[in-house]
A and B are shown apart, each in its own frame.
Chain A
Amino acid sequence: MKIWYLLIALILFSITSLFIGVKDIHPLDLFSMTEDQAQIMLISRIPRLISIIIAGVSMSIAGLIMQQLSRNKFVSPTTAGTMDSARLGVLMAMILFTSASALEKMIVAFAFALLGTFIFMKILEKVKFKDVIFIPLVGLMFGSIISSMTTFIGLKYDLIQSASAWLQGNFSVIMTGRYELLYLSIPLVLIAYLFANKFTIAGMGEDFSLNLGLNYRRVVNTGLIIVALVSSVVILTIGTIPFLGLIIPNIVSIFNGDNLKKNLPHTALLGAVFVLFCDILGRVVIFPYEIPIGLTVGVLGSGIFLYLLMRRKAYE
Chain B
Amino acid sequence: MVEVRGVSKQYGNKTVIDSVSLQIAKGKITSFIGPNGAGKSTLLSMISRLLTKDTGEIYIDGVEIGKCKSNELAKKISILKQSNNINIRLTIRELVSFGRFPYSQGNMTKGDWKYVDEAIAYMELEDIQHKYLDQLSGGQRQRAYIAMVLAQNTEYILLDEPLNNLDMKHSVQIMKVLRRLVDELGKTIILVIHDINFASCYSDYIVALKDGAVVKEGHVDEMIASNVLKDIYEMDFHIQNVNSNRICVYYA
Q: Which residues of A contact B (CB under 8 A)?
A: 68, 71, 196-198, 200-201, 203-205, 207-208, 210-215, 253, 257-259, 261-262
A204 contacts B86, C-beta separation under 8 Å: yes
A208 contacts B73, C-beta separation under 8 Å: no
A201 CB contacts on chain B under 8 angstroms: 98, 101
B101 contacts A212, C-beta separation under 8 Å: yes
B132 contacts A257, C-beta separation under 8 Å: yes
A212 contacts B89, C-beta separation under 8 Å: no
A208 CB contacts on chain B under 8 angstroms: 84, 86
The answer to the question of B91 belonging to the interface, with a C-beta cut-off of 8 Å to chain A, is yes
Interface segment, one of B75-83, B166-174, B178-186: B75-83
Closest Cβ neighbor of A198 among chain B residues: B106
A252: min CB distance to chain B, Å: 10
User: With contacts A207-B81, A207-B83, A215-B70 known, is A258 near B89, CB below 8 A?
Assistant: yes
B101 CB contacts on chain A under 8 angstroms: 197, 201, 212-214
B70 contacts A213, C-beta separation under 8 Å: yes
Interface residues of B in 125-158 (CB under 8 A from A): 132, 152
User: With contacts A207-B83, A212-B101, A212-B152 known, is A257 near B71, CB below 8 A?
Assistant: no
The answer to the question of B63 belonging to the interface, with a C-beta cut-off of 8 Å to chain A, is no
A257 contacts B50, C-beta separation under 8 Å: no
Interface band, chain B: 20 to 34
Q: Which residues of B contact A (CB under 8 A)?
A: 45, 48-50, 69-75, 78-81, 83-84, 86-91, 94, 98-99, 101-102, 105-106, 132, 152
User: With contacts A212-B102, A212-B152 known, is A257 near B94, CB below 8 A?
Assistant: yes
B72: min CB distance to chain A, Å: 7
User: With contacts A198-B106, A253-B89 known, is A211 near B98, CB below 8 A?
Assistant: no
A211 contacts B48, C-beta separation under 8 Å: yes
B70 contacts A259, C-beta separation under 8 Å: no
B50 contacts A207, C-beta separation under 8 Å: yes
A73: min CB distance to chain B, Å: 8
A259: min CB distance to chain B, Å: 5
B98 contacts A200, C-beta separation under 8 Å: yes
A71 contacts B87, C-beta separation under 8 Å: yes
B13: min CB distance to chain A, Å: 21
